[in-house]
Amino acid sequence: MSTLIALVLGIVAILLAVPVAVLALQTLVAFARRVPAPLPPGVRPRLAVLIPAHNESSGVTPTLKAVRSQLLDGDRCVVVADNCSDDTASVAAAAGAEVLERHDIDRRGKGYALDFGLRFLDADPPDVLVVVDADCLLTDGCLDRIGRLSLATRRPVQAVYLMTAPAPAKRSTQIAEFAFRVKNLARPMGFLRLGLPCQLMGTGMAFPWPVLRSIDLATGHIVEDLKMGLDLAAAGHPPLFCPDALVTSQFPVNEAGTKSQRKRWEHGHLSMIVGTAPGLLWHSLRTRDVASFALGLDLLVPPLALLVMASTLFAMLCLAFLAVGGSAWPLLVSLIGLGGLFVAVALAWLRYGRDVLPLATLALAPLYALKKIPLYLRFVVSRQAEWVRSKRDAP
């Protein structure tokens, strides 16, 4: 019996070590400083910026101002006011956008809004389509850089997408901001340096028009960006990371909005790990699709809080097994994985996190992870399957 338990624990330890190894590789390769790349050669493509918006009247104007400041003659800015119950449409129109109103309560979600906008643009398609969320700000030159790079490479291009903590930031939000940098900056930077693609992040995405029309966007998936990137990679168009273009948004001020947002992201990601990653990895191995295999490995890395919590608790379980006379090798494997996770987080913090997360607060990250246990338990008993907008305003 002890041998069987040791075997099971060892297999679990090895499975846990896989995402840790991927994370460690990405952060190690991303640790070196990077010199900004020159602008891609060639002409600036004609752009259309598509902004899906659901009840975003209070925040869409700054986004439109940032977008319109970077448009050239012939470019377009289109807002899809999707199932709105506020005045998003009129606010967007007053800010100078072309506005489409969509009403279909049975087909809710960002994917449906994007598909609606694309069908509108089919009559006069751009060279490159850029998707920007209605609560985001673009840094100077962002549209020019990702548009040129997308046209030059004929690939989807993903700008850096970071979320910032509203001041004064709670410790939990500072930790979340750092975790976002690990996921959306350090990890794709590592894969970029290895010549591998990145996941799509939902905003700051540029697509050559024919490439985007090669997949079906009309879905209500709660992490439509992940699905879109995997679908494009399977179609031969793996997304390319562009670290020299930046898009930002702010975590919701409202506590309920923060919890809703995290639940949607993390339940969606975990659903993709369980339902998509194994088949994707197997298919990419059979077809020798390196890009899809890399994205499958990247998909296996769960939210950082969950990975820290699972690795720590499992190491403690293996230690307890050893204490009652069990084998030591599962504990050894789990400790190697835990050490690799510590190194990965430390490297990411040293290069990308020191300005947003004090070291003393980083030390509290395991406690922050434990507070998220109910979130992960709800994934097992009542996971979120539908897209729900996060409430951003203060209560």
pLDDT bucket at 394, cuts 50 / 70 / 90: very low
Question: Average pLDDT in the 238-253 region?
Answer: 92
pLDDT score, position 388: 53
Is residue 66 assigned to a domain? no
Cβ atoms of 191 and 28 within 8 Å: the answer is: no
CB contact at 8 A, 123 and 92: no
Contact 144, 119 (CB under 8 A): no
**Which residue is listed with tokens 């400041």?**
69
What pLDDT is recorded for position 33? 79
> What pLDDT sits at residue 272?
83
Proportion of the chain above pLDDT 70, given as a percent: 92
Do the beta carbons of residue 250 and residue 162 sit within 8 Å?
A: no
Q: Which residue has the tokens 């168009």?
A: 237
The string of DSSP letters for 245-312 reads: EEEEEE--SSHHHHHHHHHHHHHHHHHHHHHTHHHHHHHHHHHT-HHHHHHHHHHHS--HHHHHHHHH
388: number of Cβ within 10 Å: 14
Q: Cα(260)–Cα(233) distance, rounded to whole angstroms?
A: 29
Query: What one-letter code names the amino acid at 230?
Result: L
Show the DSSP H helices in 76-181 as ranges. Answer: 88-94, 110-121, 142-153, 171-181
Instruction: List, in order, residues 6 or more apart from 219 with CB less than 8 Å away.
Output: 109, 111, 112, 227
| Within-domain flag for 110 | no
Which residues, at least 6 apart from 283, have a Cβ–Cβ distance to it below 8 Å? 289, 292
* Residue 271 belongs to a domain: yes
Alpha carbon distances (Å) from 188 to 5, 60, 220, 242: 37, 28, 25, 9
Q: What secondary structure does DSSP assign to 161-187, as a single string?
A: EEEEPPSSPPHHHHHHHHHHHIIIIIH
**pLDDT category, 386, cuts 50, 70, 90?**
low
Considering the domain boundaries, does residue 72 fall inside one?
no
Dist CA 133 CA 163 (whole Å): 12
User: Per this entry, what is the length of the chain?
Assistant: 395
201 in a domain, yes or no? Answer: yes
The distance of Cα 82 from the centroid of its chain, to the nearest Å, equals 22
Look at residue 74 and tell me if it is in a domain: no
**What percent of the chain shows pLDDT beyond 90?**
62
Q: Return all residues near 385 (Cβ < 8 A) that are at least 6 apart.
A: 222, 267, 271
355 burial via Cβ count (<10 Å: 0-12, 13-18, 19+): exposed
Burial state string for 26-35 with b = 16 or more CB within 10 A and e = fewer than 16 = bbbbbbeeee
pLDDT tens digits, residue range 40-96? Answer: 777 899 999 999 999 998 889 999 999 999 999 999 999 999 999 999 999 999 999
Q: Are strands 137-138 and 240-250 parallel, antiparallel or unpaired?
A: antiparallel
In a domain, 306, yes or no: yes
In this structure, of 36-45, 139-148, 272-281, 283-292, the range with the lowest mean pLDDT score is 36-45
Report the pLDDT value the prediction gives residue 116, as an integer from 0 to 100. 93
Residue identified by tokens 């439509």 is 224
Instruction: Give SS3 for 144.
Output: helix
291-330 burial by CB neighbour count: b if 16+ within 10 A, else e?
A: bbbbbbbbbbbbbbbbbbbbbbebbebbeebbeeebbeeb
Q: Could you say which DSSP state residue 45 is in?
A: P
Q: What is the mean pLDDT of residues 346-366?
A: 90
The answer to whether residue 156 is domain-embedded is: yes
As a whole number of angstroms, the distance between CA 186 and CA 160 comes to 10
The larger pLDDT score, comparing residue 318 to residue 381, is at 318
Q: How many domains does the chain have?
A: 1
> Cα–Cα–Cα angle for 254, 247, 369, nearest 5°?
50
Q: Considering only CA atoms, which of 231, 222, 175 is closest in space to residue 199?
A: 231
Domain that holds residue 218: 1-45+127-395
